[in-house]
Structure 1
Amino acid sequence: MTFSRADFPADFLFGVATSAYQIEGHGAGGAGRTHWDDFAAAPGNVAHAEDGRRACDHYHRWEEDLDFVRDAGFDSYRFSASWARVMPEGRGTVNAEGLDFYDRLVDGMLARGLKPALTLYHWELPSALQDLGGWRNRDIAGWFADYAEVLLGRIGDRVWSTAPVNEPWCVAWLSHFLGHHAPGLRDIRAAARAMHHVLLAHGAAVESARGLGVGNLGAVCNFEHAIPADGSEASAAATRRHDALINRWFVSALFNRQYPEEALDGIAPHLPSGWEKDLDRIAQPLDWFGINYYTRKLVAAAPGPWPGLSEVEGPLPRTRMGWEIHPEGLSDILLRIHEGYTRGLPLIVTENGMAAADRVQAGEVQDPDRIAYLEGHLAAVQRAIAQGVPVRGYHVWSLLDNFEWAFGYDQRFGLVHVDFQNLQRTPKASYHALARALAR
């Protein structure tokens, strides 16, 4: 790495991120069934018919994994809890083993000098709640608030920060309209309701957290730098629709108490009656805002029903996921969110990273492309800071190679390689490079 800690503000936090279902091993510790277990059980949904039953077995190996975070010199560890591990049916009975696990995990972070950055929900909905309609059901806001109260009642006194939902666009649109993630629906009405209810659940969870005296609350959304694929007005209009759906829908509601018109054109007829009355509850005051950024998208108009758009392959180098590498987009997104929405609220890059075809050779994993990727995006953060954007931290996705949802275990995002046969961990060259750069 060509940068060091000294190149960033003295209070800037460097961290690494994971999520519960992707690493813990959901078959252990009394966790309930989730809609990801159900989705993975249907042929063709997940590569190689894989699931998160064992994953990285972080449930049993968490001490070793937290040692990796500490030894690299990171300041914070962004982790998530599984709703179904805490409350196997999503409501009612609490799994004592699950609460004990997160209790130990948080204490383990603190013992290693790490700031615990909690996400309440990173996509594993209890199956019993999916049976009741899941994110299509307005009652989910209350169920989620109850879960937040149970978990934060146990660990809220020790976490450094809390965000209710990771990437609500993925929870709602990717999973209910595009059908790529659990529950795998392709239904505009389901998607519209999920787009609204996930925000309502966010607001309800923030209320629960503040009622318990938990502070440093934020939200985490994913963003793409979207540009037209050509100079036509049709592609420009399609890009505005894409931008409204992925980049503006959630942040507009959280900070401006409104939804963008380009998205409402297609979604409004399918929203629940009286949705406008929920916007004040959704727009709870926050202490920080998190931005997940990976790529840019070239967008063109496409025939067919609304939203009438398609993604076009661009000329830039790509990660193994097929995502273009475009660090400049991160600078643009940070500045845009600061000026148009958060207006001085601290911003944190909560996820940024790349998948590569990493292999262990002679006991080492060389991943120069990842080193270059991280350097480029950290330079983009520096440019945003120089323009007055209050960026306070940066988290690499991810600590470990893990269960990458519909891609199974094929896509490796980790700083630490995991052999999914014997679960041996091997820090990659990028891990060692970051450790040198972050040394105090």
Structure 2
Amino acid sequence: MAANDPGSTFDPPADAVVRRPDFLLGVATAAYQIEGAATEDGRLPSIWDTFSATPGKVLHGDTGAVACDHYLRWEEDVELLAGLHVDAYRLSIAWPRVVDAAGRPNEKGLAFYRKLLRRLKEKGIRTSVTLYHWDLPQHLEDAGGWRNRATAYRFAEYADLVSRELAGLVDFWSTLNEPWCSAMLGYGTGHHAPGQADLLAANQAMHHLLLGHGLALATLRRNDPASRKGIVVNVGRGTTDGTTPDDARAAELFELQHNDWVLDPLLRGQYPPRLHDELWPAARPPVQDGDLETIGTPLDFLGINYYFRTNVRADGNGGYVEVPLPGVERTQMGWEVHPDGLRDLLTGFHRRYDNLPPIYITENGMASDDRVVDGAVVDRQRIAFLERHLAAVDEAVKAGVDVRGYYVWSLLDNFEWAFGYERRFGIVHVDYATQRRTPKRSAELLREFLARRRSPS
């Protein structure tokens, strides 16, 4: 699917899945990364407000207090979306914005999302809403956060409230975004909020995240039956350039903890035994009777987020260690550009899980050091990146995988978590000093392609 000049055209083959009118092509964002207005209209503090305000936790001391000012500029951003002709828009609800500390609705926060979703519907844009994209209310973290089983029930109550208030305005509900990141980066390594580094805590958090997901699915089905319900998981391709059986096992263990840790309980009703027998014998999930049945509630769809491949070798202690490959293409994040990894994971899941639901690629994109030059941003690497990853999706579809849509991450440059504002993932450039939005060349090509698809000559 790659164009001859990735800076000037985007023209997938005539038989490419992305050309089908029923294949959703959209863009995605998340509340804390774009909304700002951290204290407006009754919004409570989240773990990311606390974490980013802690010296040394986020690059350059950046926070999401203002971000892209989307809370106040949402009408401009909806017009931007409509002008791109996207089929769908994925966003998240800020839990601290819509529920107070006693669990009661905050009408001003709910009104914001109600207005936003109605306007998107008026523009003919399909809506995909994630309930939890990492911004846990701080008062719940103070009570133990996702280590505490009670948080799973608070999440189900929050899902119940929001889905009653926004029923009929949402096409796709996702319970969680990337529980692996919430559990491992938040509680296992301390790289993300709330900043804990305890493998047992990570396993506790993962189990309660997945339990909250299963509990929330029941309320979503009851309150908004016409919508589709699922979850969004991040997946990683693990390979090795080592030559020993231990190196091959290391690559298996990488994917076991990165992918199977989440997908096996969702789709098989069990945690992968090897994970705890071989890799984490002292860190097991706190499973109670009935939990795995709740977690394994059937999904209408599975959201897949994919960004890069990781090369590993055996560490000599029964585990693995990352060994970056030399001479490969990388993004501003230092992540390897490896589209084949997406194809290989999708086809592998198709073989592994008999009950694999329809898949949407809910995030795929790259960061680059984009600058506005003479009023334009020509992001050639991103254009080639998107073309090649869409080609990988196309190969997976032709191999039998039921992939029904693809969302570019992200609509806007935004607060990139621990990396602050230095890393730019958007197809629209944001000048954070003025909040001026400038569509990059990737956005222009996406718009031109979608306009052609809607009005084929």
RMSD of equivalent CA atoms: 1.6
Cα distance in 1 for partners of 2:114, 2:324 equals: 45
Query: 1:249-274, CA deviations, whole angstroms, 9 ceiling, x for partnerless residues?
Result: 11111111111123122446433544
- 1:179-328 alignment to 2 at 5 Å? 179-214=190-225, 215-265=227-277, 266-267=279-280, 269-271=282-284, 273-275=286-288, 277-302=290-315, 308-314=319-325, 315-328=327-340
The question of whether the paired residues in 1 share the 8 Å contact of 2:267 and 2:356 is answered with: no
- Residue in structure 1 matched with residue 12 of structure 2 by the alignment: 3
Query: 1:3-61, CA deviations, whole angstroms, 9 ceiling, x for partnerless residues?
Result: 27873233111010000000000233321001111111211100111111110000011
Letter in 1 for 2:364: N
- Structure 2 residue 394 is matched with structure 1 residue 385: no
- Residue in structure 1 matched with residue 108 of structure 2 by the alignment: 97
Measure how far apart 1:212 and its partner are.
Answer: 1.5
Letter in 2 for 1:128: H
Letter in 2 for 1:149: D
- 5+ long unaligned stretches in structure 2: 1-9
Cα distance in 1 for partners of 2:270, 2:359 equals: 21
- SS of the equivalent of 1:10 reads coil
Cα–Cα, structure 1 residues 243 and 7, in superposed 2: closer, same or farther, change >3 Å? closer
The question of whether the paired residues in 1 share the 8 Å contact of 2:147 and 2:208 is answered with: yes
Structure 1 length as normaliser, TM-score?
0.96
Cα distance in 1 for partners of 2:55, 2:119 equals: 38
- SS of the equivalent of 1:392 reads strand
Cα–Cα, structure 1 residues 241 and 275, in superposed 2: closer, same or farther, change >3 Å? farther
Cα distance in 1 for partners of 2:254, 2:356 equals: 26
Cα–Cα, structure 1 residues 154 and 387, in superposed 2: closer, same or farther, change >3 Å? same
Letter in 2 for 1:188: L
- SS of the equivalent of 1:119 reads strand
Cα distance in 2 for partners of 1:104, 1:256 equals: 39
- SS of the equivalent of 1:395 reads strand
Cα–Cα, structure 1 residues 107 and 44, in superposed 2: closer, same or farther, change >3 Å? same
- Residue in structure 1 matched with residue 3 of structure 2 by the alignment: none
- Residue in structure 1 matched with residue 5 of structure 2 by the alignment: none
Cα distance in 1 for partners of 2:175, 2:289 equals: 21
Cα distance in 2 for partners of 1:347, 1:171 equals: 21
- Residue in structure 2 matched with residue 115 of structure 1 by the alignment: 126
Cα distance in 2 for partners of 1:247, 1:64 equals: 38
Of 50, 54, 57, 2:69 maps to 57
Cα–Cα, structure 1 residues 211 and 303, in superposed 2: closer, same or farther, change >3 Å? same
The question of whether the paired residues in 2 share the 8 Å contact of 1:240 and 1:262 is answered with: no
Cα distance in 1 for partners of 2:322, 2:233 equals: 20
- Residue in structure 2 matched with residue 430 of structure 1 by the alignment: 442
Which is further off, 224-233 or 134-143?
224-233
Query: 1:213-232, CA deviations, whole angstroms, 9 ceiling, x for partnerless residues?
Result: 43310111111111123112
Cα distance in 1 for partners of 2:215, 2:419 equals: 32
Letter in 2 for 1:163: S
Cα distance in 1 for partners of 2:448, 2:353 equals: 36
Of 55, 74, 80, 1:43 maps to 55
Structure 2 length as normaliser, TM-score?
0.92
Cα distance in 2 for partners of 1:4, 1:362 equals: 32
- 5+ long unaligned stretches in structure 1: none
Q: Which 4+ stretches in 1 moved above 6 angstroms?
A: none
- 1:408-419 alignment to 2 at 5 Å? 408-419=420-431
- Structure 2 residue 25 is matched with structure 1 residue 14: yes
Instruction: Calculate percent identity across the aligned residue pairs.
Output: 46
Cα distance in 1 for partners of 2:449, 2:355 equals: 31
- 1:153-168 alignment to 2 at 5 Å? 153-168=164-179
- Residue in structure 2 matched with residue 31 of structure 1 by the alignment: 43
Letter in 1 for 2:283: H
Cα distance in 2 for partners of 1:362, 1:27 equals: 36
